[in-house]
Amino acid sequence: MPATDFRDYYSILGIKKNADADEIKQAYRKLARKYHPDMNPGDKSAEARFKEVNEAYEVLSDPDKRKKYDQFGQYWNRMGNAPPGSGSPFGGGNPFGNMDFDGFEFGQYATFDDFINALLGRMGSDPFAGRTAGRSPGAGFNTPPQGGGAGLDSEATISLTWSEAFRGAQKRLTTGKEEFEVRIPPGVKPGNRIRVRGKGQFSPYYTSQRGDLYLNVELKPHPFFQFDGDNLTCEVPISPDEAVLGAQIEVPTPEGSVMVNIPAGIRSGQSLRLRGKGWVNAKGDRTDQMVKVIIVAPKDLSSTERDLYEKLRAARSKDPRSHLKDTRL
């Protein structure tokens, strides 16, 4: 390989040689998003950069591959300068000569594939093995990424009913021309992501390799239930007499109605906790359901109700706003 063909994976990702795993991943995600073909339709230059970034990440994110790259990178840079005439099957002689490089006796390898297999520890897993015809000396050193990765992952939105999200379900999805079943676990919520392994984008190098598909969960607004963190919330109207005297009322929960005691003298906006009647959490347990009580004054009164309310007003012993009389700035 000519020296000018050597690819500095650290420079490609814009990181230092002592970058840790998190720095490598962060740099990769930023560049993969920037040069992704979906973000640059028809841009061949961006597509080429995307492949370079994937290739660099594939090597540097793997501790073993990174160690070998750091050790033999300088040798890769010299491949195009090997002296001819030493019997190499590639037409330029044995590019390894007999020099010793950190314990490797290059002259012991009959073919380039033998060296690659020893160097990478793959023992025949080189994707180019057995296909040496037409290859230039050094081909295969910058092998493309093996397998999926964040750059091959894709996202989609899945819309669920509250019942499907609460109980779990099997959903049939169609992406492009592909149709497949997805298991929805019980207790997913808006903002959750469901990972579907091997249903993302195909590798630009090997069609047998794919990323993962991440489904962003979306629930349509419910007329009664809402989320407050892990708990469910709801609003229940009560009448003035129920607020004053107390009552026992029926309140819906995800699995049916339950009877709830309304204490006498409850205030509008006050909440009651129904333990273990909320959503399904990650452990399979139930969270709580918070019931917010709203006192609703009737608008259409019968003559009897109006008469009784007038009598109550006349007989009222306390002014509910007496504590506000001296309030001022």
Per residue in 104-142, pLDDT tens? 454 555 554 455 455 444 333 333 333 333 333 332 223
Residue 32 lies in a domain: yes
Residue 142 lies in a domain: no
Distances (CA, A) of 190 to 39, 160, 175, 300: 26, 9, 21, 39
**Hey, what are 290's tokens?**
């918070």
The residue-averaged pLDDT of 184-194 equals 93
Residue 29's domain comprises: 3-120
- 214 with 235, same domain? no
Residue 137 CA to residue 153 CA, distance in Å, equals: 34
**pLDDT tens digits for range 9-40:** 889 899 998 999 889 988 988 888 888 877 78
Domain boundary among 175, 200, 219: 219
In a domain, 129, yes or no: no
| Mean pLDDT score, 221-233 | 94
Q: Is the pLDDT of residue 209 over 70?
A: yes
* CB half-sphere exposure, 115, CA atoms < 13 A: 25
Report the number of distinct structural domains present in the chain: 3
In 3-state terms, what secondary structure has residue 181? strand
Residues 156 and 101 reside in one and the same domain: no
**What band does 76 get if pLDDT is binned at 50, 70 and 90?**
very low
Domain check: are 198 and 246 in the same one? no
The answer to whether position 73 is within a domain reads: yes
Q: Is residue 144 part of a domain?
A: no
CA pair distance 266, 158, nearest whole angstrom: 41
Regarding whether 286 and 208 lie in a shared domain, the answer is no
Task: Tell me how far apart the terminal alpha carbons of the chain are, to the nearest angstrom.
Answer: 83
Give the length of the chain: 329
Domain membership flag for residue 195? yes
Q: Return the higher-pLDDT residue of 64 and 97.
A: 64
Q: Would residue 133 count as lying in a domain? A: no
Question: Average pLDDT for residues 145-164, to the nearest whole number?
Answer: 76
Dihedral of the alpha carbons of 145, 148, 152, 154, in degrees to the nearest 10 = 180
Q: What mean pLDDT is reported for the chain?
A: 78
Is 329 part of a structural domain of the chain? no
